[in-house]
């Protein structure tokens, strides 16, 4: 049923040309992971209300949800080197507006302008995975290429590293140096990462590339396939005006909603954790539990990368989503710090494997040259849920108390397995088509 190979990560570490873009994307991840909590901390320490800080933070999340996939779509069409500097400049302008208004303790409304512009932030998680997929699938690494699944495991560990450390760094700098210090540090990391990524041109995916064919040949072939598909649906736009993957790929839509539920109950869980810590008069409980979750997720993702499962990807997705949903559905049992830690650790142990499987499913369901947009849609689903979950949790906490918010989170968690199981046949059918397309291309 499964095989374990502890040495799989050696192939990843041998790919030295990946070091520059992985370091660049890790720095950019630090900025993205501290955005929500960093803005809230910066504003509240500067005298703004929690309500205003929450609205600005939610505006950033909503902007990333709306704008992010469109930025990634443009990146797939024109290339990372051409688009990332422009998108980063817009996002950085938004950050400068936020910092300037907070430093001057100005009115709230300009903060929303800055928050919208920050949403142009290009997704480093998607771009790193797209570069790895390009290196592996295009044959540039030859017979020493690592497996895609190993790559997704490795990248999930980097995601968790940013998730664990960047919010803590942001809060510590804001509290000990200056309210804006955390976000300034994040902005410096973001700019540095963008520069490094832009300079690493040799590993950037070529627009229109695909496995088993030259760029020119595959661009023409894909145009014919897509034109035929669009003609059948009554549309015939040029290649540069292709429709969004959210509209054309049922698998991307399924994954989006799985991530939407995940973002909502995890966001609610974090909010309720802070509230429970306050109820217990032990504020350190929240930070300890959240750090323990991050470490557990990182370890689980690293270990999962060494396991080779032989089950079909659609089944792996359904099982992984069910495990995560059922693990966090036990939130209704939380009534103490101990039960909080147990539920958090149980859920974190299943979280990273789901991300790895979901990214692999995504890669198998869309054309290789559109992977950046596809993965960004997954992140957009999570961001959308993360914007709704804390707000819902806060409302329930104010009205009914902390324990009631965990009950609501448990219900939201069940939405994930219900979505995955209900759409199992749909995912399986579309993945089968995806494998056929890849095999045909490889034979050319």
Mean pLDDT for the chain?
Answer: 84
How crowded is residue 155: how many other Cβ atoms within 10 Å of its Cβ?
Answer: 26
**Greater model confidence, 70 or 50:** 70
- Rounded mean pLDDT, 258-282: 85
Model confidence band, residue 439 (pLDDT cutoffs 50, 70, 90): very low
Question: Looking at beta carbons, which pairs linking 386-389 to residues 24 or more positions away fall under 8 Å?
Answer: 386/36, 386/61, 386/263, 386/264, 386/266, 386/267, 387/58, 387/61, 387/62, 387/65, 387/263, 387/267, 388/263, 388/264, 388/267, 389/263, 389/264, 389/265, 389/266, 389/267, 389/268, 389/269, 389/271
Q: What is the pLDDT of residue 29?
A: 93
Q: Cα dihedral angle (86, 248, 315, 435), rounded to 10 degrees? A: -90
The span from the CA of 367 to the CA of 213, in Å, is 13
- Rounded mean pLDDT, 308-320: 90
Model confidence band, residue 2 (pLDDT cutoffs 50, 70, 90): low
Indicate yes or no: pTM above 0.85. no
Model confidence band, residue 125 (pLDDT cutoffs 50, 70, 90): very high
Angstrom CA distances, 265 to 251, 325, 326, 414, stand at 22, 9, 12, 9
Instruction: For residue 340, give both structure tokens.
Output: 């909080």
Instruction: For residue 311, give both structure tokens.
Output: 């089950």
Give the largest CA-CA distance in the chain.
66
How many percent of the chain have pLDDT more than 90? 42
Q: Out of 241-250, 406-415, 430-439, which region has the weakest mean confidence (pLDDT)?
A: 430-439
How crowded is residue 99: how many other Cβ atoms within 10 Å of its Cβ?
Answer: 17
Q: What is the pLDDT of residue 283?
A: 65
Q: What is the pLDDT of residue 6?
A: 67
**Greater model confidence, 363 or 419:** 419
- Rounded mean pLDDT, 107-126: 94
pLDDT at 216 over 80: no
Angstrom CA distances, 210 to 76, 295, 297, 361, stand at 12, 36, 32, 17
pLDDT at 442 over 80: no
pLDDT at 143 over 80: no
Question: Looking at beta carbons, which pairs linking 38-42 to residues 24 or more positions away fall under 8 Å?
Answer: 38/167, 38/170, 38/171, 38/174, 38/182, 38/183, 38/186, 39/98, 39/115, 39/183, 41/170, 41/171, 41/174, 41/175, 41/179, 41/182, 42/98, 42/102, 42/174, 42/179, 42/180, 42/182, 42/183
Q: Out of 46-55, 72-81, 310-319, 376-385, which region has the weakest mean confidence (pLDDT)?
A: 46-55
- Which residue in the block uniquely carries the two structure tokens 């649906």? 233
pLDDT at 226 over 60: no
- Rounded mean pLDDT, 197-204: 92
- Rounded mean pLDDT, 367-388: 86
pLDDT at 403 over 90: yes
How many percent of the chain have pLDDT more than 70? 88
Q: What is the pLDDT of residue 51?
A: 75
Q: What is the 3-state secondary structure (H, E, C) of 188-228?
A: HHHHHHHHHHHHCHHHCCCCCCECCECHHHHHHHHHHHHHH
Q: Out of 73-87, 227-241, 263-277, which region has the weakest mean confidence (pLDDT)?
A: 227-241
Q: What is the pLDDT of residue 183?
A: 94
Model confidence band, residue 281 (pLDDT cutoffs 50, 70, 90): confident
Phi, psi of 4, rounded to the nearest 5 degrees: -115, 130
- Rounded mean pLDDT, 194-198: 95
Q: Identify whether the C-beta of residue 146 lies closer than 8 Å to the C-beta of residue 12.
A: yes
Q: 347 CB contacts (<8 Å, ≥6 apart)? A: 269, 293, 324, 327, 328
**CA-based nearest residue to 211, from 276, 139, 292:** 139
């Amino acid at each position: 049923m499964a095989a374990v190979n502890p040495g799989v990560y050696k192939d990843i570490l041998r790919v030295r040309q990946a070091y520059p873009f992985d370091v660049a994307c890790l720095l950019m991840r630090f900025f993205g992971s501290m955005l929500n909590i960093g803005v809230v901390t910066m504003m509240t320490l500067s005298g703004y209300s929690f309500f205003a800080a929450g609205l600005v933070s939610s505006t950033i999340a909503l902007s990333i949800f709306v704008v992010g996939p469109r930025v990634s779509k443009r990146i797939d069409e024109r290339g990372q080197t051409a688009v990332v500097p422009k998108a980063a400049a817009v996002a950085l302008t938004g950050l400068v507006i936020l910092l300037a208004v907070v430093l001057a303790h100005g009115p709230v409304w300009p903060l929303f302008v800055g928050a919208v512009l920050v949403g142009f932030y290009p997704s480093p998680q998607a771009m790193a995975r797209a570069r790895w997929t390009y290196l592996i699938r295009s044959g540039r690494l030859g017979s020493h290429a690592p497996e895609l699944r190993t790559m997704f495991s490795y990248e999930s560990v980097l995601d968790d590293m940013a998730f664990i450390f960047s919010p803590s760094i942001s809060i510590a700098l804001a509290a000990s140096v200056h309210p804006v210090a955390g976000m300034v540090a994040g902005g410096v990391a973001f700019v540095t990462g963008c520069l490094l990524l832009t300079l690493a041109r040799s590993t950037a995916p070529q627009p229109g590339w695909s496995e088993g064919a030259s760029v020119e040949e595959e661009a023409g072939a894909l145009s014919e396939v897509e034109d035929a598909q669009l003609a059948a649906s009554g549309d015939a736009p040029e290649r540069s005006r292709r429709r969004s993957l959210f509209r054309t790929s049922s698998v991307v839509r399924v994954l989006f909603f799985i991530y939407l539920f995940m973002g909502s109950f995890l966001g609610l869980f974090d909010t309720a954790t802070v509230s429970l810590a306050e109820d217990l008069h032990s504020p350190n409980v929240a930070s300890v539990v959240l750090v323990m979750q991050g470490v557990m997720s990182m370890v689980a993702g690293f270990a999962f990368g060494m396991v080779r499962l032989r089950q079909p990807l659609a089944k792996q997705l359904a099982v992984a989503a069910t495990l995560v949903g059922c693990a966090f559905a036990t939130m209704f049992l939380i009534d103490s710090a101990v039960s909080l830690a147990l539920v958090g650790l149980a859920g974190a142990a299943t979280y990273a494997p789901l991300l790895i499987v979901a990214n692999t499913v995504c890669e198998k369901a869309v054309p290789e040259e559109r992977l950046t947009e596809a993965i960004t849609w997954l992140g957009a689903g999570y961001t959308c849920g993360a914007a709704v979950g804390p707000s819902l949790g806060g409302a329930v906490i104010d009205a009914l108390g902390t324990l009631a918010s965990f009950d609501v989170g448990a219900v939201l968690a069940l939405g994930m397995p219900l979505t995955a199981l209900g759409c199992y046949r749909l995912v399986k059918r579309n993945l089968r088509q995806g494998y056929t397309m890849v095999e045909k291309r490889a034979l050319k």
